[in-house]
Amino acid sequence: MNRMWELFATHGAVCVGPCGCAASPRPRAVLPGSFNPLHHGHTALAAAAAHRLGAPVHFELSIANADKPELAADVVEARLRQFTAAGPVWVTRSATFVQKADLFPGAAFVLGWDTAVRVIDPKYYGGIDGLAAALRHLADRGCRFVVGGRIDAAGAFRVWDGGGLADEFRALFEPLTEADFRADVSSTQLRAALHGERGT
Protein backbone atom coordinates (compact mmCIF):
# COMPACT_ATOMS: atom_id res chain seq x y z
CA MET A 1 0.00 0.00 0.00
CA ASN A 2 2.92 2.38 0.58
CA ARG A 3 3.69 2.43 -3.15
CA MET A 4 0.05 3.24 -3.88
CA TRP A 5 0.14 6.26 -1.56
CA GLU A 6 3.39 7.46 -3.14
CA LEU A 7 1.82 7.35 -6.59
CA PHE A 8 -1.34 8.98 -5.30
CA ALA A 9 0.61 11.85 -3.75
CA THR A 10 2.37 12.46 -7.05
CA HIS A 11 -0.48 11.98 -9.52
CA GLY A 12 -3.68 12.58 -7.53
CA ALA A 13 -5.14 9.32 -8.85
CA VAL A 14 -3.92 5.74 -8.89
CA CYS A 15 -5.33 2.50 -10.23
CA VAL A 16 -5.21 -0.49 -7.90
CA GLY A 17 -5.46 -3.98 -9.34
CA PRO A 18 -5.00 -5.33 -12.86
CA CYS A 19 -4.97 -1.83 -14.38
CA GLY A 20 -1.53 -1.19 -12.90
CA CYS A 21 -0.60 2.30 -11.72
CA ALA A 22 -1.21 6.02 -12.08
CA ALA A 23 0.02 5.98 -15.69
CA SER A 24 -2.58 3.43 -16.79
CA PRO A 25 -4.89 4.46 -19.65
CA ARG A 26 -8.03 6.10 -18.33
CA PRO A 27 -11.06 3.78 -18.47
CA ARG A 28 -14.02 4.27 -20.80
CA ALA A 29 -16.50 3.52 -18.01
CA VAL A 30 -16.30 4.28 -14.28
CA LEU A 31 -18.58 3.34 -11.37
CA PRO A 32 -17.90 5.76 -8.48
CA GLY A 33 -18.88 4.95 -4.92
CA SER A 34 -17.93 4.86 -1.26
CA PHE A 35 -18.28 1.05 -1.23
CA ASN A 36 -19.10 0.82 2.46
CA PRO A 37 -19.41 -2.08 1.83
CA LEU A 38 -18.93 -3.25 -1.76
CA HIS A 39 -21.88 -5.53 -2.58
CA HIS A 40 -23.44 -7.46 -5.44
CA GLY A 41 -25.54 -4.44 -6.43
CA HIS A 42 -22.34 -2.62 -7.38
CA THR A 43 -20.84 -5.54 -9.27
CA ALA A 44 -24.12 -6.40 -11.02
CA LEU A 45 -24.58 -2.77 -12.10
CA ALA A 46 -21.00 -2.72 -13.40
CA ALA A 47 -21.66 -5.90 -15.38
CA ALA A 48 -24.91 -4.57 -16.85
CA ALA A 49 -23.27 -1.29 -17.85
CA ALA A 50 -20.29 -3.12 -19.36
CA HIS A 51 -22.70 -5.16 -21.47
CA ARG A 52 -24.52 -2.01 -22.61
CA LEU A 53 -21.34 -0.06 -23.35
CA GLY A 54 -19.21 -2.86 -24.75
CA ALA A 55 -16.36 -1.82 -22.45
CA PRO A 56 -15.12 -2.92 -19.02
CA VAL A 57 -16.25 -0.83 -16.06
CA HIS A 58 -13.64 0.29 -13.52
CA PHE A 59 -14.59 1.34 -10.00
CA GLU A 60 -13.62 4.66 -8.40
CA LEU A 61 -13.19 5.32 -4.69
CA SER A 62 -12.80 9.02 -3.97
CA ILE A 63 -11.12 9.98 -0.71
CA ALA A 64 -13.09 13.25 -0.82
CA ASN A 65 -16.89 13.43 -0.90
CA ALA A 66 -19.25 16.38 -1.29
CA ASP A 67 -21.42 15.21 1.63
CA LYS A 68 -18.99 13.43 3.98
CA PRO A 69 -15.60 13.92 5.68
CA GLU A 70 -12.46 12.83 3.83
CA LEU A 71 -11.63 9.15 4.27
CA ALA A 72 -8.69 8.20 6.48
CA ALA A 73 -5.88 6.11 4.97
CA ASP A 74 -6.75 2.98 6.97
CA VAL A 75 -10.39 3.22 5.83
CA VAL A 76 -9.32 3.54 2.18
CA GLU A 77 -7.05 0.52 2.49
CA ALA A 78 -9.79 -1.57 4.12
CA ARG A 79 -12.26 -0.72 1.37
CA LEU A 80 -9.73 -1.47 -1.35
CA ARG A 81 -9.25 -4.98 0.02
CA GLN A 82 -12.85 -5.71 -1.01
CA PHE A 83 -11.94 -5.43 -4.69
CA THR A 84 -9.60 -8.42 -4.95
CA ALA A 85 -11.98 -10.24 -7.29
CA ALA A 86 -14.27 -7.37 -8.31
CA GLY A 87 -12.07 -5.52 -10.79
CA PRO A 88 -9.83 -2.48 -11.15
CA VAL A 89 -10.45 0.42 -8.76
CA TRP A 90 -9.16 3.99 -9.01
CA VAL A 91 -8.38 5.96 -5.87
CA THR A 92 -8.94 9.68 -6.45
CA ARG A 93 -9.73 12.90 -4.63
CA SER A 94 -12.45 13.87 -7.13
CA ALA A 95 -15.45 14.77 -5.01
CA THR A 96 -17.59 16.14 -7.85
CA PHE A 97 -18.48 14.89 -11.30
CA VAL A 98 -16.93 18.00 -12.83
CA GLN A 99 -13.64 16.89 -11.27
CA LYS A 100 -14.23 13.30 -12.35
CA ALA A 101 -14.86 14.45 -15.93
CA ASP A 102 -11.49 16.22 -15.94
CA LEU A 103 -9.79 13.09 -14.59
CA PHE A 104 -11.64 10.63 -16.86
CA PRO A 105 -12.45 12.53 -20.08
CA GLY A 106 -14.71 10.63 -22.45
CA ALA A 107 -15.89 8.26 -19.72
CA ALA A 108 -19.38 7.00 -19.04
CA PHE A 109 -20.12 7.28 -15.32
CA VAL A 110 -22.24 4.40 -14.04
CA LEU A 111 -24.71 5.36 -11.31
CA GLY A 112 -27.76 4.19 -9.46
CA TRP A 113 -30.99 6.18 -9.82
CA ASP A 114 -30.61 7.73 -6.36
CA THR A 115 -27.14 9.07 -7.17
CA ALA A 116 -28.33 10.44 -10.52
CA VAL A 117 -31.04 12.38 -8.67
CA ARG A 118 -28.32 14.03 -6.57
CA VAL A 119 -26.20 14.74 -9.66
CA ILE A 120 -28.94 17.02 -11.03
CA ASP A 121 -29.84 18.65 -7.69
CA PRO A 122 -29.10 22.40 -8.08
CA LYS A 123 -28.20 22.73 -4.38
CA TYR A 124 -24.81 21.14 -5.09
CA TYR A 125 -24.03 23.77 -7.73
CA GLY A 126 -25.22 26.99 -6.14
CA GLY A 127 -28.41 27.01 -8.19
CA ILE A 128 -29.79 26.05 -11.58
CA ASP A 129 -27.24 28.08 -13.53
CA GLY A 130 -24.38 26.28 -11.78
CA LEU A 131 -25.98 22.93 -12.56
CA ALA A 132 -26.29 23.85 -16.23
CA ALA A 133 -22.66 24.94 -16.34
CA ALA A 134 -21.53 21.68 -14.72
CA LEU A 135 -23.53 19.54 -17.15
CA ARG A 136 -22.16 21.50 -20.10
CA HIS A 137 -18.66 20.89 -18.77
CA LEU A 138 -19.32 17.15 -18.64
CA ALA A 139 -20.66 17.24 -22.18
CA ASP A 140 -17.62 19.21 -23.35
CA ARG A 141 -15.37 16.57 -21.79
CA GLY A 142 -17.23 13.86 -23.71
CA CYS A 143 -18.71 12.31 -20.55
CA ARG A 144 -22.15 10.88 -19.92
CA PHE A 145 -24.07 8.82 -17.35
CA VAL A 146 -25.47 5.29 -17.44
CA VAL A 147 -28.17 5.00 -14.78
CA GLY A 148 -29.40 1.80 -13.18
CA GLY A 149 -32.77 1.65 -11.45
CA ARG A 150 -33.12 1.68 -7.67
CA ILE A 151 -35.78 1.30 -5.00
CA ASP A 152 -36.87 4.74 -3.76
CA ALA A 153 -37.81 5.76 -0.21
CA ALA A 154 -41.42 4.69 -0.83
CA GLY A 155 -40.36 1.20 -1.91
CA ALA A 156 -41.00 1.69 -5.64
CA PHE A 157 -38.44 0.63 -8.24
CA ARG A 158 -37.44 3.75 -10.17
CA VAL A 159 -35.97 3.76 -13.68
CA TRP A 160 -34.41 7.00 -14.91
CA ASP A 161 -37.02 9.05 -16.77
CA GLY A 162 -35.02 12.15 -17.63
CA GLY A 163 -35.23 13.83 -14.25
CA GLY A 164 -37.09 16.80 -15.69
CA LEU A 165 -33.91 18.04 -17.38
CA ALA A 166 -33.95 20.42 -20.32
CA ASP A 167 -33.61 18.77 -23.73
CA GLU A 168 -30.05 20.09 -23.92
CA PHE A 169 -28.99 17.69 -21.17
CA ARG A 170 -31.30 14.69 -21.47
CA ALA A 171 -28.96 12.84 -23.83
CA LEU A 172 -26.23 12.87 -21.17
CA PHE A 173 -28.20 10.25 -19.20
CA GLU A 174 -28.80 6.75 -20.56
CA PRO A 175 -31.15 4.58 -18.47
CA LEU A 176 -30.85 0.87 -17.93
CA THR A 177 -34.23 -0.85 -17.88
CA GLU A 178 -35.38 -3.14 -15.10
CA ALA A 179 -34.71 -6.04 -17.47
CA ASP A 180 -31.13 -4.81 -17.84
CA PHE A 181 -30.46 -4.49 -14.13
CA ARG A 182 -32.22 -4.82 -10.81
CA ALA A 183 -30.60 -5.51 -7.43
CA ASP A 184 -32.65 -4.53 -4.40
CA VAL A 185 -29.80 -4.01 -1.96
CA SER A 186 -28.23 -0.94 -0.37
CA SER A 187 -25.06 -0.28 1.57
CA THR A 188 -27.11 1.40 4.30
CA GLN A 189 -29.22 -1.74 4.82
CA LEU A 190 -26.16 -3.97 4.81
CA ARG A 191 -24.41 -1.80 7.40
CA ALA A 192 -27.53 -1.82 9.60
CA ALA A 193 -27.76 -5.61 9.36
CA LEU A 194 -24.06 -6.01 10.16
CA HIS A 195 -24.27 -3.74 13.22
CA GLY A 196 -27.39 -5.60 14.36
CA GLU A 197 -25.58 -8.92 14.15
CA ARG A 198 -22.62 -7.53 16.08
CA GLY A 199 -24.96 -6.26 18.76
CA THR A 200 -26.46 -9.68 19.45
- For the chain, which residues score pLDDT lower than 50? 198-200
CB 119 within 8 A of CB 90: no
Domains defined along the chain, listed by start: 2-199 (3.40.50.620)
CA distance from start to end of the chain? 34
- pLDDT (0 to 100) of residue 179: 97
Please return the burial class of 36, using the count of CB atoms within 10 Å of its CB with bins 0-12, 13-18 and 19+.
middle
Q: State whether residue 104 is helix, strand or coil.
A: coil
- pLDDT (0 to 100) of residue 3: 83
* Pairwise CA distance, residues 199 & 177, whole Å: 38
| DSSP-derived pairing of the beta strands 108-112 and 29-33 | parallel
* Pairwise CA distance, residues 90 & 96, whole Å: 15
pLDDT in tens, 73-113: 999 999 999 998 898 999 999 999 999 999 999 999 999 99
Average model confidence (pLDDT) for the chain? 91
* Pairwise CA distance, residues 186 & 112, whole Å: 10
- pLDDT (0 to 100) of residue 125: 96
Nearest to 108 by CA among 169, 27, 26, 29: 29
Q: Does the predicted TM-score (pTM) go above 0.85?
A: yes
pLDDT in tens, 113-129: 999 999 999 999 999 99
CB 32 within 8 A of CB 105: no
